[in-house]
A and B are shown apart, each in its own frame.
Chain A
Amino acid sequence: DSGVTQTPKHLITATGQRVTLRCSPRSGDLSVYWYQQSLDQGLQFLIQYYNGEERAKGNILERFSAQQFPDLHSELNLSSLELGDSALYFCASSVRGQNTEAFFGQGTRLTVV
């Protein structure tokens, strides 16, 4: 157990809908990272937060957004869902974002039908 908790584990929804994925980082970790893993794209970095502030953006679509709350948990919001958004979404956390490894949650498998 990495200490990073992601909910839900599985999500099935229809095209055009909106979903929210939740991540609770390890206790004491200030940095949260979101990744998307699909069969054809590999592990793609989406966005990073550090202590509530957005720090870096990767290949995140405009239909996607995220935030990190004062208690350090993070949510990834995906809207106007398309079939191509079906993927595993991982959250990772690290202590300060520097000089440490990232710990990964078990992921949320999103299926858009």
Chain B
Amino acid sequence: AQSVTQPDIHITVSEGASLELRCNYSYGATPYLFWYVQSPGQGLQLLLKYFSGDTLVQGIKGFEAEFKRSQSSFNLRKPSVHWSDAAEYFCAVAGLDSGTYKYIFGTGTRLKVLA
């Protein structure tokens, strides 16, 4: 069965610092991987996705993520964090599970940005 682990529940960084949010997944085949961001009181917005090809994917708002098959990871990075990046971030894996295409989300990482 598919599963996603985001080991960090909360992360605090200073504005301008670099950011890395961790995501590990479990899936038998090549997964489809996503990062979503949720601002307070809002729905989830897609940041970036990986389906195949180049393992380093670029997303919106200056985010990027790298797929590492050997580590079953899909970590999200940003070189310089802005105060507006404070939000909750969800990693998701999608793929066939018992004949049905499913999206499974991690528990989320809440990012706090210090001025």
CA distance A42 to B6 in the complex (A): 12
Query: Counting CB contacts under 8 A, is A25 at the interface?
Result: no
Q: How large is the interface on A (under 10, 10 to 19, 20 to 34, 35 or more residues)?
A: 20 to 34
List the one stretch of A60-68, A78-86, A96-104 in contact with chain B.
Answer: A96-104
Interface, chain B (partner A; CB < 8 A): 32, 34, 36, 42-46, 49, 51, 90, 92, 94, 96-97, 100-108
What is the minimal beta-carbon distance from B37 to any residue of chain A, in angstroms? 11
Known: A99-B32, A99-B51, A101-B34. A2 touches B105 (CB 8 A): no
Query: Per a CB cutoff under 8 Å, which of B45, B94, B97, B107 touches A2?
Result: B45
SS class of chain A's interface: helix, strand, loop or mixed?
strand
- B107 and A106: CB pair below 8 A? no
Interface residues of A in 1-44 (CB under 8 A from B): 2, 4, 31, 33, 35, 42-43
